[in-house]
Each structure stands twice: as C-alpha cells, then as structure tokens.
C-alpha cells in the first residue's frame, strides 16, 4: 500500500482549496486507514499473505504508532512515482515473494474482494490492472518484475492507464482488467468519499432565520442548494419585503415564526428532517463542498459540533484584524459565533434543548453549553459574511460594542437590557 504521512500542506494538495491544508491531510489520514482496513481483511483471510506500507513523509516509528505494529513500513525513496513503484517491485521479488499487488489509497471503493480477484487473475494473466476513472489505476498485480511498466509514463495525467497498457503490449504481456473505481483527487470528487463511506445518506438541514433579507437571500441559497442531500428551511420572522416569496421560488421551505433569532432557529430545527443541523445567517455564504466538510468534521469521535472560519466581505482597513481575532477565538477558546455557520447533530441539539430563548446572545450561550460536552471543530475554510455591520458603525465601534455586550452578559446584565442597549446603538 502506497501512502503519505498526513502532513498539512504536503498531501492531497489539490483538495486544499476545498478542505484547507489540515482538512486535506485529515482526509488523507482517513483514506489511508480505510484502505488499510481493506488490506487487513484480505490478508487475514489468505494463507501465506503479508502486507507492507510504502510511505512518503514521516518516519517508520510515526507510521507504526499511527497504523499499528502488524505491518512492515518502508520509505518509498527518491524519484518520481514510476521510480518508486519499480523499486518496490524489484525489491519484493528479490526478497522471494511470488506475487505482488500495489495499491494506492485514493479509491474508497477498493475491497478485499477486488484484491482477491486481482491475485486470482494472475493465474492466467501476466499483469492485472484496476482502472481508475481519472485515467490512472488503483491496483497493479504482477507475478514477475517488469521495470518497463513504470518507465516513460506521464504520471499524474489521464493517460497513465493507456500508456501502461501500451508498455505491457510492447513486452508481449497479457493483461487482465478489474472493475473501474472512482478516485478522490479534486474537490469535485469529494462526494464519492461521502457515498463510499455512507455519509452521503446523512441529510443536512440548513436553517436560515430571516427578516427582510430579500436582497441577500438569493446568493446565500444558491450556495446552500449546491450541496448534496441538503434541505433548506428559511424561517421568516415577519418580513415586510419579498423574503418569503424569493426563498420559495429558489427551492427553500419557508416557515413563519415570531421574530427573534433563537425562536426562529428553534422553529426551523423542529421542522427539519436531517440528521445534521446547520444554522446560517441570511447574509452569510457557505464555502464550496460545505456539505462534505460538515459530514467529515462530525465523523470525528471527539467532535460535538463545528463552525467555519470567518471572512468578512469588506475592504475597510483593519477588517483582517477582526477576522484573525474571530478565528483565534473560535479555534483556541472554542467560541465560534452564529455568523460562522454553526453545525451539529440533531440528537445533540435536542439533548441541549435547542437555543435558549434569549433576545440576544443566544448563540454565545448555546456554544458555551456545547463546549462542555466536547470539541467544537473549526475546519480551515471560511464562510463569507456581509460586512454591513462594520460598515455602518465602523470597525472600532462595532468591535468595542460586541466585546462590551459579551462582558456585560458574563457579568450578569439581563439579555433584555443588552438587547435594548444594542439596538439603541
């Protein structure tokens, strides 16, 4: 099995635009673990079988602590992928094995059954290839070393499989092909991971409390509706504009509620049908592949909820400092705010009794309660929220007002008093 140690920024780099460096490394880790589970299932069912991990990055000790002590770990060494594959095959046959299968970790559809098929096909064929739908291959099985199969190949392109088949033809080798599989290299491939791991069946209900948001809703809903297996509930708190009509026209389910963000979000949650709830402000845009990120984050055993990093749509001087402060607070203090797209599982939301019925600070208090139950994860990808609050009052006044409200709440000032104070300013 060929893999990389999951170092942020050095693995799955084509997924970084969608997942961030840490998110891409986390997916690399889970894909490796999933493939290794498959390899172990095959190995444990076969006589005289062994499994070995060839790795890039990290050390043998790090790999052993991560993946277990029942495997052999060796670095892939220098050179391009062809050099590393060819060297592995040459070494293995020199050490006395009689058949070998090389597999990557990019195809979550790889199964122990396919591995068995690959070795069985070597009874009649000189080489066996498992085609990947991007033009490469996820498996190669051989019963003799053929270094020419790894030479002159344009690795990383859609012609890898065809060039390998041509190299086999020129050597006079017979080739058997397994069923093709989808691999995960680009952001648009991420839904394949959800499908293969069964998480695509987890429905995400996006709850958007709204009041006179006819201008901002269209783009917000466009981003949300790009997700897979997602429902959208816009909870209207008594708008006097076309908020409800626009939301219905764009495919959202519209609910009516007394005004108040906490009440509106609780109304939406009660009507939601998804296993996962995501609470979103009407003027906040979710990132690409948000649905994959949400399911991935909530699959971590110690995570109880998550929220995105914050990016503010404004060119005001100093806005970057506000963003950095918010993201520091979210990650280190585990205190994201409601404008960062808070998400969690439905059963945990119900266990906490929903958002407290407060006229202000409902998200702050809810997150404080969540924080006591476990980790609140912040994937390194931002939502884009409107800068209208900062533009209306200015960065300094808005920041001071926000901090004063938080401090007063913690000192015991009533939420109703804080609401009047906030609205007056």
**Total residues belonging to the chain:** 425
φ, ψ of residue 277 in degrees (nearest 5): -110, 135
What's the pLDDT at 250? Answer: 93
Check pLDDT > 70 for residue 118: yes
Distance CA 409, CA 17 (A): 38
Check pLDDT > 80 for residue 20: no
Please state the pTM of the whole predicted model. Answer: 0.67
pLDDT digit string, tens, across residues 329-355? 998 989 998 899 999 999 999 999 999
All residues at 6 or more sequence positions from 280 whose CB lies less than 8 Å from its CB, including other chains: 206, 207, 208, 220, 224, 286, 341, 383
Instruction: Tell which residue, 92, 65, 83, 184, has the closest CA to residue 134.
Output: 184
Token pair for 136: 């490469």
List 130's β-bridge partners, or say none.
Answer: 139
Check pLDDT > 90 for residue 248: yes
Alpha-carbon dihedral of residues 118, 122, 125, 131, nearest 10 degrees?
A: 20
Distance CA 351, CA 354 (A): 8
Name the 3-class secondary structure at 68.
Answer: coil
Check pLDDT > 80 for residue 418: no
- Region 129-158: mean pLDDT is 92
Residue whose tokens read 């099995």: 1
What's the pLDDT at 215? Answer: 94
**186 vs 80, higher pLDDT:** 80
Burial class (CB in 10 A: 0-12, 13-18, 19+), 280: buried
What's the pLDDT at 424? Answer: 65
DSSP letter at 286 equals P
Q: Calculate the CA 227 to chain-centre distance.
A: 13
What's the pLDDT at 199? Answer: 64
Check pLDDT > 80 for residue 226: yes
* Structural contact between residues 168 and 149, judged by C-beta atoms closer than 8 angstroms: yes
Mean pLDDT (the chain) is: 90
Check pLDDT > 80 for residue 191: no
What's the pLDDT at 200? Answer: 63
Domains of the chain: 2-188 (3.90.550.10), 199-389 (3.90.550.10)
Check pLDDT > 90 for residue 173: yes
What's the pLDDT at 379? Answer: 81
Going by pLDDT thresholds of 50, 70 and 90, the confidence category of residue 89 is: very high
Check pLDDT > 70 for residue 425: no
pLDDT digit string, tens, across residues 349-384? 999 999 998 888 899 999 999 999 999 998 878 899
Token pair for 171: 């050597």
pLDDT digit string, tens, across residues 250-268? 999 999 999 999 999 999 9
**18 vs 211, higher pLDDT:** 211
What's the pLDDT at 66? Answer: 94
Instruction: Tell which residue, 164, 128, 130, 170, has the closest CA to residue 149.
Output: 164
Q: Where is average pLDDT lowest: 17-26, 93-102, 118-127, 138-147?
A: 17-26
């Amino acid at each position: 099995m060929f893999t990389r140690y999951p170092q942020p920024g050095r693995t799955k780099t084509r997924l970084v635009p969608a997942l961030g460096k840490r998110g891409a490394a986390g997916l690399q880790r889970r894909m490796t673990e999933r493939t290794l589970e498959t390899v172990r299932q095959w190995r444990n069912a076969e006589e005289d079988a062994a499994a070995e991990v060839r790795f890039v990055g990290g050390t043998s000790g790090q790999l052993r602590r991560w993946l277990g002590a029942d495997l052999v770990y060796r670095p892939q060494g220098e050179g391009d992928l062809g050099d590393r594959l060819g060297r592995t095959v040459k070494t293995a046959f020199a050490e006395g094995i009689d058949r070998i299968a090389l597999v990557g970790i990019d195809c979550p559809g790889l199964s122990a059954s396919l591995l068995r098929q690959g070795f069985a096909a070597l009874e009649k064929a000189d080489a066996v290839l498992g085609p990947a739908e991007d033009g490469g291959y996820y498996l190669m099985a051989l019963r003799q070393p053929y270094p020419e199969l790894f030479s002159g190949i344009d690795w990383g392109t859609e012609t890898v499989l065809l060039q390998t088949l041509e190299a086999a033809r020129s050597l006079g080798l017979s080739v058997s092909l397994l069923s093709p599989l989808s691999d995960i290299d680009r952001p648009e491939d991420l839904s394949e991971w959800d499908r293969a791991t069964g998480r695509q069946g987890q429905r995400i209900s996006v709850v958007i409390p709204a009041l006179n948001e006819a201008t901002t809703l269209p783009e917000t809903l466009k981003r949300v509706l790009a997700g897979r297996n997602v429902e959208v509930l816009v909870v209207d708190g008594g708008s006097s504009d076309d908020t409800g009509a626009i939301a219905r026209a764009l495919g959202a389910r519209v609910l009516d509620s007394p005004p108040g963000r906490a009440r509106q979000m609780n109304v939406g949650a009660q009507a939601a049908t998804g296993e996962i709830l995501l609470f979103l402000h009407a003027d906040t845009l979710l990132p690409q592949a948000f649905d994959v990120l949400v399911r991935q984050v909530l699959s971590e055993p110690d995570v109880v909820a998550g929220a995105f990093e914050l990016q503010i749509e404004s060119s005001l001087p100093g806005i970057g400092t506000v963003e950095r402060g918010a993201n520091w607070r979210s990650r280190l203090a585990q205190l994201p705010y409601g404008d960062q797209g808070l998400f969690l599982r439905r059963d945990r939301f119900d266990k906490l009794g929903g958002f407290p019925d407060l006229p202000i600070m409902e998200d702050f208090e809810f997150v404080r309660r969540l924080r006591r139950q476990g980790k609140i994860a912040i994937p390194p990808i931002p939502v884009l929220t409107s800068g209208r609050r900062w533009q209306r009052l200015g960065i300094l006044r808005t920041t001071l007002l926000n901090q004063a409200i938080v401090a007063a709440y913690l000192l015991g000032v009533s939420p109703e008093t804080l609401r009047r104070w906030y609205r007056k300013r």
